[in-house]
Structure 1
């Protein structure tokens, strides 16, 4: 018997039901990381995810009338602990949410035999976009390769030819996550004639990057692109300020756009940017419901409801909830299983109209998934630190699908061959 979280219990109590109802509910565990070197980013993300499901339980009785048991299994962002959590939760779960590219890569082959979908919104292995190859893996609404494409288009001002002769430093965590953009950036460098200089940051160097920033000073790059996470981001931003690197030439991936990291340098961080597939919307109707049903009820651990990462957590749980709803509607029942959720995640239609119904207009760009496209490639916005907070700094940017799609095809085929025999979805056109 699994242990029910306070969130799940609160959902039951709000319905006047006893806790055992969750044996018949929908179990959606989250492989959280509220501890360890990445906790500063993990906590608001996990709070956002938990609060959205708590709101659905309290306001709607769950999804389709079925309560959601949103349990957490703490990994500390450790791949080994993440695999242990996966094994511990998979029997009753309809989904696994790994919360690490390293964990995702470890459980990816297991999902083919366990028949459980991976949901990794905006992270994981970018070729998972190819649903024909990765039947059980989903990384909506945008992949890391989408992020790299959008960042480079922003730097180029829309004219990729203008990148010729430029020098771009990729300051990245020396971890599977940090290495994700390298294949697409190398391909872009070859195509558009810029020099790519990867500079890794080891896990033990995250808070002391003096050697890396000394190299950046020597390289004198036109831009620094940061694939950072947790303590690495704060360390890099602090070093950039200390070495007087132009902050308007410094752009991070969406996990390097955390409010608290920039608050440490305040006005000195003005001009720093981060690509983002989510956008805080303090006045969105869903935020009023979160406050009424979760915060005011004493069920939330979050203080700043308007932070980028907290509201991104809300969007992530919305994506899961919409997958559950799609599966319920298609199969005509509330108690769905993992295979039915796989269908739901493969048929997401997060339209502008649906976002309005959810009270989440502007919090994520509209997107759709299909059996062949498990990402949706939503696009994103550039956020800029104005000295006090992140503000929108661009219109919606879209990744270059014509450039990325062949690379997705190539790398997913390589993965399948290296892990043969690998089951394909031959029915997917």
Structure 2
């Protein structure tokens, strides 16, 4: 009973694999942040995540016939509270979803002991891509260094970057500093000046000093690594100072519809790289609308449900759901363990065909993972605000991994050495 086809798995696993044991639930807690300075982004993401699993429970009885328990532990995006939440939920958890680079970095050393995988889609510590070193951590479908590579590619597509000036407006937080190694490397190689401009947590809503510096420096581009209230503050200041919005580009966490609605048409041209896209016509969105939203089982509203962040939450839970199915099929059991889920996370193959089977048409690019590749490097689309909504402004882009593969290995080994003894996956070849 080790292997199943995807179509047969749910039916067979739903029978409970015999009468000796009855499947209870799949516990996938979420370290949520519906409160605090980043709540504006956390709420739609958490709603999308929760609604996808509610839909699966209502439509399919869960995954493999086992209901999903996606309970939340509120962190307010506080690293201290995040670690408390982790300790509170870890005894029964299949996965840790930290929702903060700071929390991820604190939990990361614990994973080797607790053997609970971290799922940090599109965030966290970029060298986690190296699964030979970070056996329990995953940041699929794409990481921050992928994002930086694609943003630089976009700027380069508009003209030679040699001699240009790029302001890097970033949250003064581990998250905001993540892309600096690759941006500094690319600046040296391509001849552009990188001007880091940090925004402190207490300055997020008042960035007059930062934008005064931008006005004085007159950069050719502003790249924003922002989060929560910082993004709204930056976009408002950019409009106020008449910075050309077409030269203002954000990471995927700086592409939130609600932030751009504050400036409306004045924000037209602003761009954000993204590994997800809100397709209201996708079958999964129709099922969520019918079985969850219309049934009164959701906390979302129509405006939020049509946006980038809500749909990204749906995609994140769909990725986790696919890892659970993959593990169930491999091990022939509906009630998988956390180590078995790790295997599932390492063996995701989101082909175009599988994306269609899951009803996620146009919502996420194809990607796959392995024991060595815990990021997937899916690529992404450049989204552009048209004054009312985000639209796809590019074909699917892919990161140039040659720019940073050596850097991933180098930084991963540095981390392992500084946290020695650090166990690695000796059975996994870096080429797998």
Name the TM tier (shorter chain).
over 0.9
Q: Where do 1:162-173 residues align within 5 Å?
A: 162-173=160-171
Indicate the residue corresponding to 1:383 in structure 2. 383
Q: Is the 8 A contact 2:133 2:425 kept in 1?
A: yes
Could you tell me which residue of structure 2 aligns to residue 219 of structure 1?
217
C-alpha offsets along residues 16-39 of structure 1, whole Å, 9 cap, x if unaligned? xxxxx9982110000000000000
More displaced 10-residue stretch of structure 1: 82-91 or 150-159: 150-159
1:185 to 2:149 alignment: no
Measure the CA separation in 1 of the matches of 2:248 and 2:165. 13
Q: Which residue of the partner structure matches residue 333 of structure 1?
A: 333
Structure-2 residue corresponding to 1:142:
142
Displacement after TM superposition at 1:230 (Å): 0.2
Q: Distance in 2 between matches of 1:79 and 1:178?
A: 15
Show CA shifts across 1:313-346 (max 9, x none).
Answer: 0000000000000000000000001000000000
Aligned residues: 407
Distance in structure 1 (CA, Å) of the matches to 2:158 and 2:111 = 39
Do 2:122 and 2:141's aligned partners in 1 also have CA atoms closer than 8 Å?
Answer: yes
Q: Which runs of 5+ in 2 are unaligned?
A: 1-20
Deviation at 1:181, TM superposition (A): 0.6
Which residue of structure 2 aligns with residue 354 of structure 1? 354
Spell out, residue by residue over 1:357-412, the C-alpha distance to the aligned partner (whole angstroms, 9 max, x if none). 11111100000000000000000000000011111100111101111211101110
Q: Secondary structure at the match of 1:199?
A: strand
CA distance in 1, matches of 2:403, 2:172: 26
TM-score computed with the length of structure 2 as normaliser: 0.93
SS in 1 for 2:124: coil
CA distance in structure 2 between the partners assigned to 1:270 and 1:361 by the alignment? 26
- Do 1:22 and 1:68's aligned partners in 2 also have CA atoms closer than 8 Å? no
Matched residues in 1 for 2:227 and 2:427: separation? 38
Q: Distance in 2 between matches of 1:100 and 1:22?
A: 35
- Choose the corresponding residue for 1:299, options 297, 302, 326: 297
Question: 1:22 and 1:381, CA in 2 relative to 1: closer, same or farther beyond 3 A?
Answer: farther
In the other structure, the counterpart of 1:71 is 71
Matched, 1:112 2:107: no
RMSD: 1.1
Moved more, 401-410 or 325-334: 401-410
| Number of the residue aligned with 1:94 | 94
Q: Give the Cα–Cα distance (whole angstroms) in 1 for the partners of residues 221 and 190 of structure 2.
A: 15
1:107-165 residue CA offsets vs partner (Å, 9 max, x unmatched) = 00000100000000000000000000000000000000000000000010087xx1111
The aligned counterpart of 2:230 is 232
- On the 8 A contact 1:22/1:67 being kept in 2, the answer is no
Q: How does 1:14-413 map to 2 (within 5 A)?
A: 24-157=24-157, 162-303=160-301, 304=303, 305-413=305-413
Secondary structure of 1:171's counterpart equals strand
Preserved contact between residue 77 and residue 99 of structure 1 (Cα < 8 Å): yes
Cα distance in 2 for residues equivalent to 1:107 and 1:86:
8
Contact kept, 8 Å, 2:23 with 2:335, in 1: the verdict is no
Partners of 1:29 and 1:144 lie apart in 2 by 24
Distance (Å, rounded) in 2 between the aligned partners of 1:172 and 1:118: 25
In structure 1, the gaps of 5 or more residues are 1-20
| Distance in 2 separating the partners of 1:22 and 1:281 | 37
Partner Cα distance (1:288, 1:208) in 2 = 40
Contact 2:23–2:66 under 8 Å retained in 1: no
CA contact (8 A) 2:23 2:334 kept: no
Task: State the distance in 2 between where 1:333 and 1:175 align.
Answer: 41
Paired position in structure 1 for 2:4: none
8 Å CA contact 2:171, 2:201 repeated in 1: yes
TM-score w.r.t. length of structure 1:
0.94
**1:28–1:96 Cα contact (<8 Å) kept:** yes
What are the Cα deviations for residues 187-246 of structure 1, in whole angstroms up to 9, with x where unaligned?
111111111000000000000000000001111100000000000000000000000000
User: Using a 3 Å threshold, how does the CA distance of structure 1 residues 346 and 213 change in structure 2: closer, same or farther?
Assistant: same
Q: Structure 1: how far apart are the matches of 2:59 and 2:24?
A: 19
